[in-house]
Amino acid sequence: MKIVIFLLNTSGLQIALKIAAHLPNTKIHGLASRLTHSEVDVLFENTTEHIRNLFSQNHVIIGICSAGLLVRTIAPLLCDKHSEPAVIAVAADGSNVVPLVGNHRGANDLAHTVANLLNGQAAITTTGDLTLGIALDKPPDGWILANPNNAKIVMADLIAGASVAIDPSLKWLSALPCPRRDDATIRLIATMSTTSPLERELIFHPQRVIIGVGSDRGCPSHEMIKLVDSAIHETGLAKQSVACIVSIDRKADETAVHAAANYLDVPARFLSADTINTVRHNIPNPSDTVNRETGVPGVAEGAALVASGATTLLLEKRKTARATCAIAISNNIINPSTIGRARGSVAVIGVGPGTSKWRSQECVALLKRANVWVGYDRYLDLISDLWSGQENHRFSLGEEEKRVRHALELASHGLDVALICSGDAGIYAMATLLCEILALDPTTSGLSDAAYRVAVTIVPGISAFQAAAARVGAPVGHDFCCISLSDLLTPWNIIEKRILAAAVGDFVVAFYNPRSIRRIKQLESALDILSKHRPMSTPVIQATNLGRAAENLKVTTLESFEPSQVDMLSIIIVGACSTELFTTGDGRRLVFTPRGYAAKRKNTI
């Protein structure tokens, strides 16, 4: 759970610091116009946008501000009380703490914690919490309420004074202030088995079940799901009692394993061969063939035994042509995060050229989900407003391969890693290099086996040429190409051939990496080639520091363009022969490349 304390001014700063010191994984976010980096962890500029982003990304929000501000801001996002994160308003003097939403996600409990810390009053308004001291439809971690639709009528009856029979296993309900009768109509039941509850019964499933699985490479997902489903049915267990799917780490990238976990809505966790071999002598159906292939005598049975801590299996190995599974029961509630490791992932994320307004929802969501951010210093600074405790692994310019390998190896330990790119991840950025490295021969690549098994996501972003084009009209409205003028990785004679081809083909051309301190002639040579194939009146756009405070745009022509004013933070767009430049009524100069609609209009008329 990631908690953000939200501040609009310095009046609540001391309270925020006190809360943050007491609650783990908590960061203070402050309005940039009234607070500084020395006072808070993250600065933001747009209050409404920032709160909504935090809420959408499932952050718990503690606002030291008026309840009304928070209510008005998140109101358009409210849809499901069972999934919404806790949002709490705290008075500037700490006297009152008001849980606004997220009571089913711990808002009331957190309000009590904060109020006790500040010697204030928690303003609890939910009837169940006030009268019963607990919300029956919000069981603690490791318990699943099978029939939440019955909770409302059950709580209403208990509030009205009805008697209840409580299963002794439900220790967290032992203080429920209701009369007890063994023959009461209202029954609170704990079971791992499937059951059909009556109207005034609540069924709570403890997550103590482990399902171990193994498979051939490329096992069909439907085969694994059908096998797991039939095994659960054979035991009579409720699916909600399953805590996680486990397998050997070499299956971390097996689609069928993850499909089974998704089917049950539980995590998939992976164990090393050495870990599974700690129970090799307890595996009831060992296989020499499996041992030769994996280094363990039984994947499904061994994984289930290790993960559960049991010495025997509830269900020994069941198998199909290409899949196996076994089931074990733990004596205790299982926390999946303590078992082996997750698959791990690398999201190669394009964050756009600069401004936060150009980030996609997918970009923001994956940045928030990540445990670690990896990237060039400048790129990490561009997204500092989204930081909420992620480890930052910073690299210098030119260390591209080093940061890709680092990201993959971090993910191999089960972490979710965001590899940050400016612009678009696949255009002169890290996505290509990551694919190139993963395509290397594993025996000579220098990567660990686990690094080859991480999940990879490529997240597109607005590229610099798109941003530059949008700022000045539509210069890339017809056929265009992008060419990097950096000859550090591509020989200049090849770059020249591409420029010539673009010139002869009359493409609009966007030049990346146009000029640096050491590379000062390439841009002049490129423009000289283009000038031989299009008029000197052709529009040229120079965009520098796009989306940032120092943004600078120039619209000129091939004849008037001055290459010496260009640096590595610039992108240059040179129009085609048909590209036009005109001035609007308000004096703005717009550039566009027509696609041929004029001829279509003429024919229509």
How much is the pLDDT for 148?
Answer: 87
Q: Which residues contact 267 (CB under 8 A, 6 or more apart)?
A: 244, 245, 261, 336, 337, 342
How far is Cα 569 from Cα 357, in angstroms, rounded to an integer? Answer: 19
> Which residues are 581's β-sheet partners?
591
Per-residue confidence (pLDDT) for residue 172, from 0 to 100: 86
* Residue 264 to residue 239: CA distance in whole angstroms: 7
DSSP string across 249-316: GGGTT-HHHHHHHHHHT--EEEE-HHHHGGGGGG-SS--HHHHHHHSSS-HHHHHHHHHHT-SS-SEE
What kind and span of H or E run contains 63? strand 60-64
* H/E element, 418: strand 416-421
Torsion over CA: 565, 567, 570, 571 (sign): positive
**Pair 359, 352: CB distance under 8 Å:** yes
Cα distance between residue 297 and residue 198, in whole Å: 45
Domains by residue range for the chain, with CATH: 3-125 (3.40.50.11220), 143-206 (no CATH), 209-338 (3.30.420.180), 347-462 (3.40.1010.10), 465-592 (3.30.950.10)
Q: Which amino acid is at 185?
A: T
What is the number of other CB atoms lying within 10 angstroms of the CB of residue 58? 16
Is the C-alpha dihedral spanning 216, 221, 223, 225 positive or negative? positive
Other residues' Cβ atoms within 10 Å of the Cβ of residue 460: 18
Question: To the nearest 10°, the Cα dihedral for 511, 541, 473, 426?
Answer: 20
* The pLDDT value given to residue 133: 64
Q: Render the burial of 15-39: b for 16+ CB within 10 Å, e for the rest.
A: bbeebbeebeebbbbbbbeebeeee
| Dist. CA 288–CA 578, nearest whole Å | 72
For residue 336, the SS3 value is helix
For the four alpha carbons of 10, 11, 13 and 16, in that order, the dihedral sign comes to negative
What is the maximum span of the chain, computed from C-alpha positions, in angstroms? 96
pLDDT of residue 176: 83
> In which residue ranges of the chain is pLDDT below 70?
1, 104, 125-133, 601, 603-605
Positive or negative torsion for Cα 598, 600, 602, 605: negative
Kind of pairing between the strands at 201-206 and 186-190: parallel
